[in-house]
């Protein structure tokens, strides 16, 4: 996509990445893609804000060359050193040898460690301003949104916030760059939640601090490094992020994430009966086969729902391994204080429920009595499973 003017003198020069299968080497984005949004400000001084992944370096340069010769750049602002925003930096250093690289003090040693770059590098302080001519940039520390060195950059005249990872989302841009032009907002909101829970959720405390810090600043456009630019309704993404960040410590809305795995169909038969019971109550319900679904898609449901049902057989005196993996990821992302229920089939020794409890021990999940069935479920067992699902869902209404 060609460069797009956001406000007079401010341009989006981002690139779409539709070929990376796994973001950060682990989160699936093959279907959705991602954008690396860079921004160019043309005033008396010329500034490039954030770069792109190394694999997208030449596409970024093409965008840049359409507007200016990189040798004319006065500054390159690096809000965050993660390589999805800095991978193209060596190219830039060579093509813009006179540009000064601006970043937080914590980023300076990281730039040397990751790229060996130490010259024409300047640390900027929290709150520091930089006159560009008619425009003025202000740098605001936003530690741990997403790494310790992270900052955001605010352009005071046009009130544009270049927020880097904050307020970003997965999803390559589909022609429309602005929220107001987007024909499929549910897609971007869903992908923003998935990005939030996969990438940012662990840092929900710092996200809330950053939102609080930004609340005193008039913002009319949020220009993140991934996903849509929020120009018509920046409050929408701000309030979504705030809502999601609060879920790290506050109760999640009533709803059930039903996780299941099954080798030979016995637990699956129970699962269908459990789901019938849950559905009867009208409680929101998501169902995931954990052996077939990457946790990147499961975590958003766990993050936003108060109840978790775990249906899995015993496997070698322990929990069916794909379920163990999913629960480990829930533990890693600190999905705390959920109401939980276990059901599953076993052959001789049991062991799955004990392991599910052990994996989630640090999460303060409250487990009800398990429904453990030996072998294939009888008709009575299936009826019991229905009651089990219904009772679990009703317990979330208390």
Ligand X SMILES: Cc1cc2nc3c(=O)[nH]c(=O)nc-3n(C[C@H](O)[C@H](O)[C@H](O)COP(=O)(O)O)c2cc1C
CB of 263 to ligand X, least distance (A): 3
User: Could you tell me the sign of the dihedral formed by the alpha carbons of 351, 356, 362, 365, in that order?
Assistant: negative
Question: According to the binding rule CB under 5 A, does residue 84 interact with Fe ion?
Answer: yes
In the bound state with ligand X, the residue whose beta carbon lies nearer, of 43 and 355, is 355
Q: Which does 82 bind (CB under 5 to 8 A by kind): Fe ion, ligand X, none?
A: Fe ion
**Of all helices (H) and strands (E), which one includes residue 306?**
none
CB of 84 to Fe ion, least distance (A): 4
Q: Which does 267 bind (CB under 5 to 8 A by kind): Fe ion, ligand X, none?
A: ligand X
Q: In the block, which residue shows the tokens 């449901």?
A: 301
CB 162 within 8 A of CB 219: no
CB of 81 to Fe ion, least distance (A): 9
SS3 content of the chain, % helix, strand, coil (to 5): 35, 25, 40
Q: Which does 84 bind (CB under 5 to 8 A by kind): Fe ion, ligand X, none?
A: Fe ion
CB of 168 to Fe ion, least distance (A): 6
CA 384 to chain centroid:
38
DSSP string, 105-130: TTHHHHHHHHH---TTEEE--TT-EE
Residue 308, both tokens: 């978790």
In the bound state with Fe ion, the residue whose beta carbon lies nearer, of 146 and 333, is 146
Q: Which does 36 bind (CB under 5 to 8 A by kind): ligand X, Fe ion, none?
A: none
Using the rule CB under 5 A, give the single segment among 75-83, 175-183, 236-244, 360-368 that binds Fe ion: 75-83
CB of 311 to ligand X, least distance (A): 8
Where on the chain is the footprint of ligand X (CB under 6 A)? 262-268, 313-317, 345-351, 375
CB of 27 to Fe ion, least distance (A): 11
Paired strand residues for 11: 5, 40
Footprint of Fe ion on 108-147 (CB under 5 A): 146
Question: According to the binding rule CB under 5 A, does residue 82 interact with Fe ion?
Answer: yes
Side by side, which strands form the sheet with 39-42?
Answer: 4-7, 10-12, 39-42, 46-49, 75-77, 100-103, 121-123
CB of 374 to ligand X, least distance (A): 8
In the bound state with Fe ion, the residue whose beta carbon lies nearer, of 146 and 338, is 146
In the bound state with Fe ion, the residue whose beta carbon lies nearer, of 164 and 324, is 164
In the bound state with ligand X, the residue whose beta carbon lies nearer, of 380 and 398, is 380
Q: Report the residue from 165, 179, 384, 390 that binds Fe ion according to the rule CB under 5 A.
A: 165
CB 172 within 8 A of CB 18: yes
Paired strand residues for 355: none
237 Cβ neighbours under 8 A, 6+ residues apart: 167, 179, 192, 222, 224, 228, 230
Binding region for Fe ion (CB under 5 A): 82, 84, 146, 165
């Amino acid at each position: 996509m060609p460069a797009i003017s956001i406000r007079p003198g401010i341009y989006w020069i981002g690139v779409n990445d539709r070929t990376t299968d796994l973001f950060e080497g682990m989160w699936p984005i093959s279907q959705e893609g991602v954008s690396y949004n860079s921004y160019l400000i043309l005033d008396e001084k010329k500034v490039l804000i954030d770069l792109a992944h190394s694999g997208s370096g030449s596409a970024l340069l093409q965008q840049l060359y359409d507007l200016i010769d990189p040798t004319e750049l006065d500054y390159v602002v690096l809000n965050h050193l993660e390589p999805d925003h800095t991978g193209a930096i060596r190219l830039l250093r060579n093509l813009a040898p006179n540009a000064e690289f601006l970043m937080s003090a914590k980023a300076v040693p990281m730039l040397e460690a990751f790229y060996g770059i130490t010259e024409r590098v300047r640390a900027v302080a929290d709150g520091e301003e930089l006159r560009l001519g008619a425009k003025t940039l202000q740098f605001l520390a936003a530690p741990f949104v997403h790494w310790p060195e992270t900052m955001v950059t605010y352009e005071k005249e046009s009130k544009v916030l270049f927020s880097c990872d904050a307020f970003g989302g997965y999803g390559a841009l589909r022609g429309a760059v602005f929220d107001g032009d987007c024909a499929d907002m549910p897609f971007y909101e869903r992908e923003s939640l998935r990005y939030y829970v996969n990438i940012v959720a662990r840092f929900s405390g710092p996200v809330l601090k950053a939102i609080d810090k930004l609340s005193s600043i008039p913002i009319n456009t949020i220009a993140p490094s991934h996903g849509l630019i929020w120009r018509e309704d920046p409050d929408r993404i701000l309030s979504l992020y705030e809502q999601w960040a609060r879920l790290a410590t506050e109760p999640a809305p009533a709803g059930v994430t039903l996780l299941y795995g099954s080798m030979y169909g016995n637990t699956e038969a129970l699962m269908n009966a459990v789901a019938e019971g849950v559905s009867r109550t009208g409680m929101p319900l998501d169902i995931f086969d954990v052996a077939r679904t990457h946790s990147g898609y499961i975590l958003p449901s766990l993050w936003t729902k108060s109840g978790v049902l775990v249906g899995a057989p015993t496997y070698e005196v322990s929990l069916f391994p794909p379920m163990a993996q999913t629960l480990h990821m829930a533990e890693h992302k600190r999905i705390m204080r959920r109401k939980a229920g276990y059901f599953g089939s076993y052959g001789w020794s049991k062991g799955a429920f004990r392991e599910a409890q052990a994996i989630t021990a640090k999460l303060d999940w409250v487990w009800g009595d398990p429904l453990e069935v030996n072998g294939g479920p009888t008709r009575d067992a299936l009826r019991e499973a229905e009651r089990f699902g219904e009772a679990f869902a009703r317990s979330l209404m208390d």
